[in-house]
Amino acid sequence: MDHFLYKNGVLHAEDVPVADIAAAVGTPFYVYSTATLLRHFRLFDEALDGMDHLVCYAMKAASNQAILKTLGDAGAGMDVVSGGEYRRARAAGIPGDRIVFSGVGKTADEIRTALAGGIRQFNVESEPEMEVLSAVALSMGKVAPITIRVNPDVDAKTHAKIATGKSENKFGIPIARARAVYAHAASLAGLEVIGIDVHIGSQLTDLAPFEAAYQKVADLTEQLRADGHNIRRLDLGGGLGIPYERTNAAPPLPTDYGAMVKRTLGHLNCEIEIEPGRLIAGNAGLMVSKVIYVKSGEGRDFLILDGAMNDLIRPAMYDAYHDIIPVIEPAPGTEQQPYDIVGPVCESGDTFAKQRMMPPLAADDLVAFRSAGAYGAVMSSEYNSRPLIPEVLVKGDQFAVIRRRPSYEEMINRDTIPEWV
């Protein structure tokens, strides 16, 4: 569910007409719904009711500070994967004891920053990382709390570029080697082993891979406790998918996921952490764009938009589907026709949809890309020297620009030409 609905024939973000935002900030832009963000966070939080738990939003999905503060004020923790994300979370007011640091390539400087500013735990991905983390912690007179990410060799049955739990993926340590790696971690004076971490991928639409992975984690917990480790926290990652195509069957609900977690791991009396990103932010955001031209081609018509692959790269990168709808609701019975919906970038890959059925549209008409809140703005770029597009947050009948569009001069003036050129 989201809070983007037609009212009196005009698409609204909560109680704000999307066309009013377009008139104020120009197109293209991203717009997020506060009500949707909070609803999705609370669904996860309530799904784990009765268990000691923390929902840590995976901020790589959408990391604007206004979004982070909205979720943080509701009680969310944050899952960060870089020093920049850590600093952004802290700038948004998230306390260090609610920040989990994940990622396969943490540098000594990033580790130092997190230890100095406060951290809930590091999710360690390799033995070399453990050595560096221990050394940095000892040099600061600290002990770093860690979980170790295990790779359970479970096929998440998702897109190859977002699968993370198979043996050939770069993430974590093989679960078969876990006991030896935990023994090594326990021998390092700068580390405190507190739990286990696992994350098998993104955009999962079936609970079976989660359950298979979590059962392996349950067995490993018992083994590590028998070895003398005080395993008291299980970080289960994220990955629950969203319905990008409204005609597809809906993925499992957070309530179903929570019931599975309780069934599989509840007997261990561990604190549970989960790290949803896409399911919290995905349906909470739209990208809004304007038709520049309607072009007739050989056997097909094109809608050429002012939004492009640099603004929303998911279709070009993953062949991802997004519902695209007109901002002005078509009259009942309006006949639709197929369009290739494309952007202005000089790449054939700058194509959002091929032969998509749409009502007739004309230049200056507005369209909205649904389910664009996750991995939209955060993956955008200035390719073709196109400025980053604005982000807008709506709450009720109010809206505010939370990242403005830079001017061409600001973008170009970041370059420096050496004296000798």
For residue 371, the model assigns a pLDDT of 95
Token code pair at residue 185: 């971690």
73 and 130 inside one domain: yes
**CA–CA separation, 14 vs 392, rounded Å?**
13
Residue 249 Ramachandran class (φ > 0 left, ψ -120 to 50 alpha, else beta): beta
What's the average pLDDT block by block, 10 residues per block, for the chain (421 residues)? 93 98 98 98 96 97 98 98 98 98 96 98 96 98 97 65 46 90 97 96 85 95 97 94 73 91 97 96 97 92 98 95 97 95 96 97 98 97 98 98 98 97 95
For residue 164, the model assigns a pLDDT of 44
**CA–CA separation, 120 vs 100, rounded Å?**
5
- Can you give the length of the chain in residues? 421
Number of H helices, E strands in the chain: 12, 21
- Is residue 417 domain-resident? no
For residue 170, the model assigns a pLDDT of 54
Residue 239: how many other CB atoms lie within 10 Å: 29
Q: Quick one: 214 exposed, middle or buried, by C-beta within 10 A (0-12, 13-18, 19+)?
A: buried
Q: What is the CATH number of the domain that holds 98?
A: 3.20.20.10
- Is residue 420 domain-resident? no
Domain boundary among 232, 247, 281: 281
Active site residue 270: no
What is the Cα 65 distance to its own chain's centre?
Answer: 14
88 and 193 inside one domain: yes
132 and 274 inside one domain: yes
347 and 249 inside one domain: no
Helix (H) or strand (E) holding 178: helix 178-186
Q: What is the CATH number of the domain that holds 296?
A: 2.40.37.10
For residue 200, the model assigns a pLDDT of 86
Q: Do 264 and 214 touch, CB atoms closer than 8 A?
A: yes
3-state SS, residue 269: coil
**CA–CA separation, 253 vs 216, rounded Å?**
23
Residues contributing to the annotated binding site for substrate: 278, 314, 318, 347, 375
335 and 266 inside one domain: no
Domain count, the chain: 2
71 and 190 inside one domain: yes
Task: Give me the catalytic one of 346, 362, 417, 421.
Answer: 346
The boundaries of the domain holding residue 53 are 34-281
Domain boundary among 281, 314, 340: 281
57 and 68 inside one domain: yes
367 and 270 inside one domain: no
- Is residue 347 domain-resident? yes
Residues contributing to the annotated binding site: 239, 275-278, 314, 318, 347, 375
132 and 72 inside one domain: yes
Token code pair at residue 216: 């392996």
For residue 2, the model assigns a pLDDT of 87
- Is residue 233 domain-resident? yes
Place of tokens 């901020």: 59
333 and 239 inside one domain: no
271 and 296 inside one domain: no
Residues contributing to the annotated binding site for pyridoxal 5'-phosphate: 239, 275-278, 375
* 10-13 sheet: strands from edge to edge: 4-7, 10-13, 16-17
Question: What CA–CA distances, in Å, run from 226 to 194, 219, 220, 222, 269?
Answer: 14, 11, 10, 6, 15
